[in-house]
Structure 1
Amino acid sequence: MTFWFLFCFTVFVASMIPGPSTLIAFTHGAKLGWAKAIATASGNALATILQAVAACAGLGLALAKSATLFLLIKYLGAAYLIFMGISMWRGASQGVDLKSELVSDVAVFQRLFSSGFLVAASNPKAIIFFTALFPQFLGAAEIAYSQMALMIMLAGVIAFSVAMIYAALGSRLRAMSITQSAMTWVHKITGGLFVSGGVGLAVSRS
């Protein structure tokens, strides 16, 4: 139990650090409520699971050793974050309808799920993080695969939980019935943070 608690605590603390994935969950929670943001959290969780699987498959080592591959994925991720930030800023400038709803619930789910997935998947450092983390918690060879499978699933559950925490915070902001002007500024600030994050990811040396 101590082993698994330490693993979960490590992943949880790392996941709680504000970043693009938490910002998108917060934004969706503020705009549409925590219930719809479940789709965002689900996309985030799936991306996290795939990143953890990729780390186990050796992609993390490949990224660490191949500067070209790492830079390619990093720049693509940075470009997407900047695109998301500009889209949020432009959407806020056009006005935010606090009660807006899309006609189709399926369309809402697909849009939020894809946003949560792509934002989380846009950061190649997550794969390297899992590549460095997992070996610290793997035991004997005969049980390594079962441990690895459980750690991957726990990472997904934690990613989902953290996203929902931020979505709930955003939903709380929505419940405060703040003015449309204030919500517009929330979207502008979030969009600016996305652009800053994308630029920071692009110019970072690691």
Structure 2
Amino acid sequence: MNPYLVFALAFAASAAAPGPEVAALLGRALSGGMWSSVPLAVGIVSGKLLLMTAAAIGLGALAALPGPFFLLLKILGAVYLFWLGIRRWRNAGRILDPNAGAKSSRVADAGLGLAMTLSNPMAVMFYIALLPTVIDLRGLSMSSYAVLCLIIVGVMSAVALSYGMAAETARKYLTSPAQKAMVDCVAGGIMMGAGVLVAFS
């Protein structure tokens, strides 16, 4: 079997499995719509590209040792997710100004996605374990590296789009004030749960 196909299938199975990143994407899409989860997805994809690059050039062992910096990233990410969940829960059913703090929120969400991915030691180990078994890293060319990057971007885009569309569909069908409040509470609960998963992963 083509090694790139093996990598794509293994990465897709890992990326689509429920976990902190998926929970955060789903919670964000439920609370603000599909497009509101894009900055978070960009941060997650950026983190995965950085980890794959580190593993490919032999820095995986260093990255696998989280240290204080990675612990700080994990704590900040968990706290921010939990705060987003509480905020959504407290404002359940209320229509908030979509432009209020939009730019800072996008930057914060992208940073959160990056921090969540970089602070996850299991994500590092995934690349360290998978890459050498499917790709000859000693002869890794720029074209091979570019293909791996395209696989990561493509698969993560499909995952984020799938969860985003599911959340958007739920939002369209649940339009009454009571249903909107319920969706907001579910979104807030998912975000708080993602924060807990990040903290203890």
TM-score band, normalised by shorter chain:
0.7 to 0.9
Secondary structure, aligned partner of 2:66: helix
* CA deviation vs aligned residue, 1:68-122 (integer Å, no higher than 9, x gap): x335355334413430343034203421335641257644533432333232333
Match of 2:107 among 101, 107, 110: 110
Q: Which residue of 2 aligns with 1:20?
A: 20
Match of 1:169 among 166, 169, 172: 166
Deviation at 1:143, TM superposition (A): 5.0
Residues 156 and 18 of structure 1: CA distance in aligned 2, closer, same or farther (over 3 Å): same
Deviation at 1:52, TM superposition (A): 0.9
Q: Which residue of 2 aligns with 1:76?
A: 72
TM-score calculated relative to the size of structure 2: 0.81
Secondary structure, aligned partner of 1:36: helix
Q: 5 Å matches for 1:185-200?
A: 185-200=185-200
Deviation at 1:5, TM superposition (A): 2.1
Instruction: Measure, in 2, the Cα distance between the counterparts of 1:106 and 1:184.
Output: 21
TM-score calculated relative to the size of structure 1: 0.79
Match of 1:95 among 81, 88, 91: 91
1:37 matches 2:33:
no
Q: 5 Å matches for 1:107-146?
A: 107-139=104-136, 141-146=138-143
Decide whether the 8 Å contact of 2:33 with 2:168 is kept in 1.
yes
Between the two proteins, what is the percent identity of the paired residues?
Answer: 17
Q: Which residue of 2 aligns with 1:56?
A: 56
Decide whether the 8 Å contact of 1:102 with 1:108 is kept in 2.
no
Instruction: Measure, in 1, the Cα distance between the counterparts of 2:25 and 2:103.
Output: 18
Report the AA paired with residue 101 of structure 1: P
Question: Where do 5+ consecutive residues of structure 1 fail to align?
Answer: 202-206
Decide whether the 8 Å contact of 2:27 with 2:191 is kept in 1.
no
Q: Which residue of 2 aligns with 1:204?
A: none
Decide whether the 8 Å contact of 2:71 with 2:119 is kept in 1.
no
Decide whether the 8 Å contact of 2:55 with 2:128 is kept in 1.
yes
Deviation at 1:50, TM superposition (A): 0.9
How many corresponding residue pairs? Answer: 197
Secondary structure, aligned partner of 2:34: coil
RMSD: 2.7
Deviation at 1:63, TM superposition (A): 4.2
* CA deviation vs aligned residue, 1:129-169 (integer Å, no higher than 9, x gap): 11111111114844555323421332233223212222222
Question: Where do 5+ consecutive residues of structure 2 fail to align?
Answer: none
Deviation at 1:26, TM superposition (A): 1.0
Decide whether the 8 Å contact of 1:20 with 1:120 is kept in 2.
no
Residues 107 and 145 of structure 1: CA distance in aligned 2, closer, same or farther (over 3 Å): same
Decide whether the 8 Å contact of 1:26 with 1:168 is kept in 2.
no
After TM superposition, the structure 1 stretch with the greater mean CA deviation from structure 2, 97-106 or 28-37, is 97-106
Q: Which residue of 2 aligns with 1:152?
A: 149
Decide whether the 8 Å contact of 1:45 with 1:157 is kept in 2.
no
Decide whether the 8 Å contact of 1:27 with 1:187 is kept in 2.
yes
Report the AA paired with residue 184 of structure 2: T
Report the AA paired with residue 133 of structure 1: L
Decide whether the 8 Å contact of 1:49 with 1:153 is kept in 2.
no
Instruction: Measure, in 2, the Cα distance between the counterparts of 1:40 and 1:80.
Output: 15
Report the AA paired with residue 84 of structure 1: Y
